[in-house]
Amino acid sequence: MTKNVMLQFLIICFVFTQNTKAQCMLQELSLKEKTQQSALIVEARVISENSFWNREHTRIYTSYILEVYKLFKGVLDASPVNLITEGGTVEYNKHSVQHQLELKVGDMGIFFMEQSHNSKLKNLSSNEAVLVAYGGVQGCIKIDQQSKTASDPFNYYYDLDAQLYPQIMALTGAYSEKGNLGFPEFQTALKADIYISDFSPSEVAAGIESEITIRGSGFGNEKGLNSYVEFKDANTGGIMLIQPLASQYTLWEDDKIIVKVPSRAGTGSLRVRNETVFANSDEELSVTYSRLNAIYNGNAFQTNIINKNSNGGYIWQMNSDFNSNTKASEAFERALISWRCKTYVPWEMGKTTSTNVTASDGINIIRFDNNSELPAGVLAACYTYWNGCNDESGFKWFVNELDIVFDDSTNWSYSQAAPELDQFDLESIALHELGHGHQLGHVINPNGVMHYSVAPGEYKKILKSNDIQGGSLVIESSKSSSYCGKTPIIPLKESDCSGTSAVASVHIDIVGGKNSVCEKAWVSFVAMAENGGASPLFEWKINGINTGSIYSTFTTSTLQNKDTITCVMTSSLPGLSSFPVSSNDLYITVSPKQLPEVIPTADSLTSSLNGISYAWFCNSIQITETKKTIKPVLLGNYAVKIWNDEGCESDKSLVYLYDPLGMENATNLSFSIHPNPSSGVFTIQLNEGNFAFTEITVSNILGQKIYKSHFSNNNKKEINLMGNAEGIYFLNIRSGEKAFAAKIILQQETK
């Protein structure tokens, strides 16, 4: 009878900002910050470890006992230091959190520790204060005892005595010796001692049991306790090194080593250590992609995906808040489609859910975090929940659930275009995090989606051949056999993603090509769909509000300045119909309608506004005059209309009554002026009941306004033009659609 033991793993991959870089795990903490925030700083060695459940049986923690050799800061009791970290293994249960510090017996380093602020950790014991590493994995600068160097995820210290110790002491003062760390006599790795001549193959994938053969001399006739191969750690871009598990060595001889390439190995040189000497390779190993492994009982297990939803794979569900951010949900779906249609991973989008927690609850959720739920600086997190079983062929591991969380306070770019220099591109981050869900690890390849870091302003929206190759391998192995009684996946078919790119998209343009339009003018837009199928659906929006237009063209005359036009297209192709995509944004500049005035001079009428063309009207009939200034010969109500530099037509001006025989005759019908001529003070008398809300202006012969006022509650108005030069002036009275004018003469009284 087969015995099945179900196990559950949790792996978390975080993305943090690192100055101008964001590594998939951490935001860099300066040595000064770590020193200031730590209550205890020691140089120590791990002498024992023990993992245990918390009291609620919901978390696994590990206790590391540290033997102290130097005290840089804090008060040290006589007993060894007990450092608690999140994660560990208890029987058939393992909780792995990648941003936490992972140690093993024999590890040495400088530890930066603080009192725990975690209430669950505080309750682990009622009699002792709990110390945790400040900054998780950054809370330890690991020491290489052989070379007297040290490193953390962001920094390499080439000399303990000359570089690292002085930097710490400059912040803490002198340290006190508590013991001897016992550095061996450093031996220079001469060719006669140990030497790497070559290795093959030069290009491999990590985490798939690929083997490399390293040739040279001085490796030792057998693998000693302190003999091992080291690869560049892809999680830190190669600053730190990663060692294979003991079970991953196939052969160790004095002139040859055969070893499997571990999951976290990245592109770079190799190092071989033989007790107290080591050698680096001259050539670099190229790691094309990496597959995630579940580590259990000293062995690495490749993880597969299963037919979780009885429809071939997994159903993703967006939390309602994430889904309500249309641009964010569209960016995520574009990333999802990229994986679906390049590796045919059987992922599909399900209904929106009100669930808003990250947990092993049967929901593959996509969500924004709640306030400070994610640590400061975290961009996104991919949670992979593994289950395993043990049968005659050994342990097997599969993905039971996936969750992805995005930081709600990050300055995200949701556009299909390049992000701004201070923005992180959500589609690129989603593509990367989905890669982890696809069971791919980090690589060191700046052009690859699974590269360990991304910078603000940077974007990687297209899967490269290595990304696709790694994902396709996971698909092939996952469809070949059942895992722990689970049904194998059913990959998508090529017909589910028709078209060469297998990704739907839509681009919109304004007919005529100019984004500057005239107010109230009819403007047309056209949508050009790619992989839209025979009958795609369109949804035109102005400033995010649906216009009701459902065709590939959209025409409107109601645009306002700074309006944004977008179009959402839903493809009719199989496999893409559930993924509406949004177009580019068109930002519209609207030239407002202008209203010119007719300005009279001695024998002419002039438009108050400049234009590229003019139209004049007399008694509502357009006349042949097309210049800014005209000399009318007929009595009538004149108006003007202009077209500006953008070609936009103005409204027609208010009418102006012009009498070539004498303005006084025309105005006497409605009002009287006395005295005229005058030395500067005039009185205007309106005919009763003719005008309300009347405006009065006076202009000189150049058309310049020198006076403006309004009638109040009576029909008499005094105008004082004292101080102006003698000459002819033009009085204009406007009320509603009517305008009248009179000529007034200003002259000094003779004595």
How much is the pLDDT for 88? 74
Left (φ > 0), alpha (ψ -120 to 50) or beta: where does 647 sit?
A: left
Rounded to 5 degrees, φ, ψ at 242 are -125, 140
- Do residues 132 and 155 make contact, with C-beta atoms less than 8 angstroms apart? no
Q: What are 96's two structure tokens?
A: 């792995």
The encoded tokens of residue 557 equal 């005359």
* Dihedral sign computed on CA atoms, order 363, 381, 235, 160: negative
> Do residues 667 and 654 share a domain?
no
Residue 33 domain flag: no
> Domain end: 223, 255, 290, which one?
290
pLDDT tens digits, residue range 360-377? Answer: 788 899 999 887 666 545
Neighbours of 139 (CB within 10 A): 26
Tokens for 653, please give them. Answer: 């001006």
CA distances from 70 to 102, 115, 147, 191, 482 (A): 21, 19, 19, 35, 53
- CA dist., res. 120 & res. 310, Å (int): 38
Identify each DSSP E strand in 679-726 by its residue range: 681-686, 695-699, 705-710, 716-720
CA distances, 204 to each of 196, 286, 304, 623 (Å) = 18, 6, 20, 84
**265 closest CA partner among 99, 445, 94:** 445
Both structure tokens of 538: 């369109």
User: In whole angstroms, what is the distance from residue 420 CA to residue 532 CA?
Assistant: 29
Unique residue bearing structure tokens 């140089």: 43
Positions in the chain short of pLDDT 50: 1-26, 118-120, 123, 125-127, 185-191, 376, 498-501, 663-669, 693
* Adjacent-strand bridge partners of 45: 67, 108
Residues in CB range of 600: below 8 A, 6 or more apart:
606, 656, 658, 663, 699, 703, 730, 732, 741
Q: Are residues 521 and 637 in the same domain?
A: no
Instruction: State residue 145's pLDDT score.
Output: 80
CA atoms within 13 A on the CB side of 747: 9
Chosen domain end from 475, 494, 513: 494
Residue 17 confidence (pLDDT): 34
Alpha-carbon 391 to chain mean position: 44
Residues near 533 by beta carbon (within 8 Å), at least 6 away in sequence: 498, 571, 572, 573, 576, 577
465 located within any domain: yes
Please indicate, yes or no, if residue 399 is contained in any of the structural domains: yes
SS3 percent helix, strand, coil of the chain, rounded to 5, is 10, 40, 45
3 state SS for 239-268: CCEECCCHHHEEEECCCEEEEECCCCEEEE
In three-state secondary structure terms, 472 is: helix
Same domain as 80, residue 158 = yes
| CA proximity to 475, closest of 308, 292, 345, 316 | 345
Q: Is the dihedral of CA 52, 55, 60, 63 positive or negative?
A: negative
The DSSP code sequence of 356-409 is: ---SSSS-EEEEE--TTSSPTTEEEEEEEEEEEEEETTEEEEEEEEEEEEE-TT
Residue 540 carries which side chain, given as an amino acid letter? Answer: W
Distances (CA, A) of 156 to 37, 38, 152, 452: 21, 21, 7, 18
- b/e per residue, 370-404, with b = 16+ CB within 10 A? eeebbbebbbbbbbbbbbbbbeeeebbbbbbbbbb
Same domain, 318 and 464: yes
Check whether residue 67 and residue 211 sit in a common domain: no
Q: Residue 321: which residues within 8 A CB-CB, separation 6 or more?
A: 356, 367, 368
**Tokens 């790497």 belong to residue:** 196
Question: How many Å apart are CA 630 and CA 116, to the nearest integer?
Answer: 87
- 357 & 456 share domain: yes
- CATH number reported for the structural domain that contains residue 684 in this entry: 2.60.40.3080
Whether residue 387 is contained in a domain is answered as yes
CB atoms within 10 A of CB 682: 22
* Token pair in block for residue 73: 């800061």
Q: Are residues 654 and 669 in the same domain?
A: no
Strand order in the sheet with 716-720: 671-674, 681-686, 716-720
- Identify whether residues 636 and 543 lie together within a single domain: no
Euclidean distance between CA atoms 326 and 334, whole angstroms: 12
* Residues paired with 66 in a beta bridge: 46, 81
| 410 Rama class: left (phi>0) / alpha (psi -120 to 50) / beta | beta
The answer to the question of residue 297 being in a domain is no
Give the C-alpha distances (Å, rounded to integers) separating 577 from 15, 496, 534, 572. Answer: 31, 10, 12, 5
Query: Please, are residues 453 and 24 in contact by the beta-carbon 8 Å criterion?
Result: yes
Q: pLDDT digits over 395-407, tens only?
A: 888 888 888 989 8
Q: Do 66 and 110 belong together in one domain?
A: yes
How many domains in the chain?
6
CA distance 267 to 451: 11
What CATH number has the domain bearing residue 565?
2.60.40.10
Range of the domain at 223: 195-290
Q: How far apart are CA 56 and CA 472, in angstroms?
A: 40
Whether the CB-CB separation of 152 and 160 falls below 8 Å is answered with no
Same domain, 475 and 509: no
Considering the domain architecture, whether residues 160 and 206 belong to the same structural domain is answered as no
- CA dihedral for 114, 115, 118, 124, sign (positive or negative): positive
Domain boundary among 553, 585, 617: 585
Length of the chain: 751
Co-location of 510 and 367 in the same domain: no
| Selection from 361, 368, 299, 360 nearest residue 328 by Cα | 368
pLDDT at 376: 46
How far is residue 316's CA from residue 307's CA, in Å, rounded to a whole number? 13
Whole-number Å distance between alpha carbons of 134 and 172: 16
Burial class (CB in 10 A: 0-12, 13-18, 19+), 284: middle
The predicted pLDDT at position 24 comes to 46
Task: Write down the pLDDT at residue 184.
Answer: 52
31 belongs to a structural domain: no
Residues whose CB is less than 8 angstroms from the CB of residue 137 and which lie 6 or more positions away in sequence, other chains included: 25, 26, 98, 99, 100, 101, 102, 152, 153
Measure the CA–CA gap between 513 and 517, rounded to whole angstroms.
10
CA 347 – CA 336 distance, rounded (Å): 8
> What pLDDT does 607 receive?
94
Residue 16 lies in a domain: no
Virtual CA dihedral for 463, 467, 470, 473, nearest 10 degrees? Answer: 10
Residue 517 has phi, psi (to 5 degrees) of: -125, 170
Residue 336's SS3 state is: helix
Q: Is 24 domain-assigned?
A: no
Neighbouring-strand partners of residue 526 = 509, 553
